[in-house]
Amino acid sequence: MTGELKAKMTIDREFAVATVDPRIYGSFVEHIGRAVYGGIYEPNHPQADDRGFRQDVADLVRELQVPIIRYPGGNFVSGYKWEDGVGPRDRRPARLDLAWRTTEPNEIGTNEFMQWCRQVGAEAMMAVNLGTRGIEDACNLIEYCNHSEGSYWSDLRKSHGYKEPHRIKTWCLGNEMDGEWQVGYKTAEEYGRIAVETAKAMRLVDPGIELVACGSSHSAMPTFPQWEATTLEHTYDAVDYISLHQYYGNPKRDTANFLASALDMDRFIRSVISTCDYMKAKKRSKKTINLSFDEWNVWFHTLESDKAIVPWSVAPPLVEDRYTFEDALVVGSMLITLLKHADRVKIACLAQLVNVIAPIMTDTGGKSWKQTIFYPFLHASVYGRGIVMQPIVLSPKYDSADYTDVPYLEAVAVYRPETKEITVFAVNRHLESALLLDCDLRSLGQVRVVEHLVLAHDDLQAKNTRDEEPVRPRRGPEVQAQDGQLAVSLPKASWNVIRLEAMA
């Protein structure tokens, strides 16, 4: 261990943040690029089922254990007529999608997506169009989806072959309405008014739903956080969540700075929480607004190449970032940040799920494979369910171009009472040195180490492909906990999952 940097982490069962809402491991399927057509749906594929859904893709989604999936957008929803995507396929019109300047064939719509969600074991998080449409269309859609029978729209659903209602619980009131790129862009006042009236009307159709208001499209928006304050001034009593969106990139090839991105994510979350709580105080309310971080990921690799896509084609290869090992480290750090805020972040959606800035990639007619970011998301989803314990971390730090006092160790712990399992998620940001982590586990009693999983690679730019998977987890050196102490070496630039079991 000579020459290694050292960090210390104290885990105490009494330092509970909150129980993780499983929906923090949600994802996103938008009608963009090959996310739907050639992604989840490819009827001529050798592994397609009788509905046209690729079973190799469905298997990978089930492996990730994604509990909720946002649909159908994204920017796409702001010009979407949902009626185009229901009923007999041979009667569905092709439409120009203004958001991505492609042609939407409408082979897949609400009912097919709900079938696919049931197949992969996920709930749907449905977005309504508040760009080009409004209250009436949102009410029609929720009546179509959630009302049992005896009304025009519910009976229309039944005539389309879906006797039972879909019972969608979570609904987004539009998408990124603060962005001038959005079809139907609105000011905060305009959006707040349409959002609250839509929310009230939708709840009259189904009082049991929960609603997400649009927050800022990202933390650098010039209207942030006033947008949140104005929106909540109107909608506070009518909604349950406000959304956050954020993507990070490394166009300048400054890895040390890129690996610190989660610090910005943390500041963004804290600022939105502060704004929500300010409005709670201003309104003298007992209600707490929680957060839906329903778009997050790394996205920068294709920002230039996507400009060359030919307009109005069907399902072009758009936004197909091929992720590197360093991207996986950033995604891991972002997952840790979301877990640290499990008391307020109740929903989060990795954007997106298949082909489009996604952990899963496919070839048309061919293979599917796992990108580098698949693994930290998989580990967090499978092992990160339970009670988040806020660790006390002492770590050496560094400064980068945009951040100061960046800890080399980014870590959190999750305790699952029913199985007595404790999982430590840890990223070593140091690019040259391993990090010796001393864990104080005395409050947990006697524990044993189940396994130490490591995602590491000497080449930060290493990528997985259809034929090779150089970035994949391996078992770390065997370690043991003694007298409530655990010493484990975290390799340089690595994602680590340390699984422990309490013996009493």
In this structure, are 291 and 396 located in the same domain?
Answer: no
Q: What is the three-class DSSP state of 366? A: coil
pLDDT in tens, 117-176: 999 999 999 999 999 999 999 999 999 999 999 999 999 999 999 999 999 999 999 999
Report how far apart the first and last C-alpha atoms of the chain are (Å, whole number): 31
- Which residues on neighbouring strands pair with residue 9, listed in sequence order? 393, 439
DSSP-assigned states of every residue in 282-324: HTT-S---EEEEEEEEE--TTTTGGGGSPTT-SS---S----B
Of the three residues 326, 356, 383, the one that is the final residue of a domain is: 383
HSE-CB of 497 using CA atoms within 13 angstroms: 24
Q: Which of 42, 83, 143, 176 is catalytic?
A: 176
- Which residues on neighbouring strands pair with residue 453, listed in sequence order? 475, 497
- CA nearest neighbour of 429 among 330, 300, 299, 323: 330
Instruction: Give the mean pLDDT of 15-39.
Output: 97
In this structure, are 154 and 48 located in the same domain?
Answer: yes
What's the CATH number where 473 sits?
2.60.40.1180
Of the three residues 363, 383, 403, the one that is the final residue of a domain is: 383
Q: Which of 30, 104, 295, 320 is catalytic?
A: 295
Q: Determine the structural domain holding residue 436 and report its residue range.
A: 5-13+388-502
84: alpha, beta or left? (left if phi > 0; alpha if psi -120 to 50): alpha
HSE-CB of 240 using CA atoms within 13 angstroms: 14
In this structure, are 421 and 371 located in the same domain?
Answer: no
What's the CATH number where 279 sits?
3.20.20.80
Asked if pLDDT for residue 1 goes beyond 50, the answer is no
In this structure, are 33 and 177 located in the same domain?
Answer: yes
In this structure, are 361 and 431 located in the same domain?
Answer: no
pLDDT in tens, 313-346: 999 999 999 999 999 999 999 999 999 999 999 9
Number of domains composing the chain: 2
Asked if pLDDT for residue 281 goes beyond 60, the answer is yes
Tokens of 230: 């104005």
Other CB atoms within 10 A of residue 104 CB: 28
Tokens of 223: 């209207």
H or E element in which residue 201 lies? helix 188-205
In this structure, are 447 and 350 located in the same domain?
Answer: no
In this structure, are 422 and 278 located in the same domain?
Answer: no
DSSP state of 21: P
pTM of the complete model: 0.97
What pLDDT does residue 3 have? 62
CB 67 within 8 A of CB 123: yes
Hey, what long-range contacts does 266-271 have (CB within 8 A, 24 or more apart)?
Answer: 266/337, 266/340, 266/341, 267/219, 268/219, 268/244, 269/244, 269/293, 269/337, 269/341, 269/344, 269/345, 271/219, 271/224, 271/225
Of the three residues 383, 415, 430, the one that is the final residue of a domain is: 383
H or E element in which residue 370 lies? strand 368-370
In this structure, are 288 and 398 located in the same domain?
Answer: no
The label of the residue with tokens 């954020």 reads 246
State yes or no: is 295 an active-site residue: yes
In this structure, are 394 and 306 located in the same domain?
Answer: no
Asked if pLDDT for residue 459 goes beyond 90, the answer is yes
State yes or no: is 112 an active-site residue: no
In this structure, are 330 and 429 located in the same domain?
Answer: no
Q: What is the three-class DSSP state of 456? A: strand
In this structure, are 343 and 231 located in the same domain?
Answer: yes
DSSP state of 346: E
In this structure, are 196 and 326 located in the same domain?
Answer: yes
What pLDDT does residue 2 have? 45
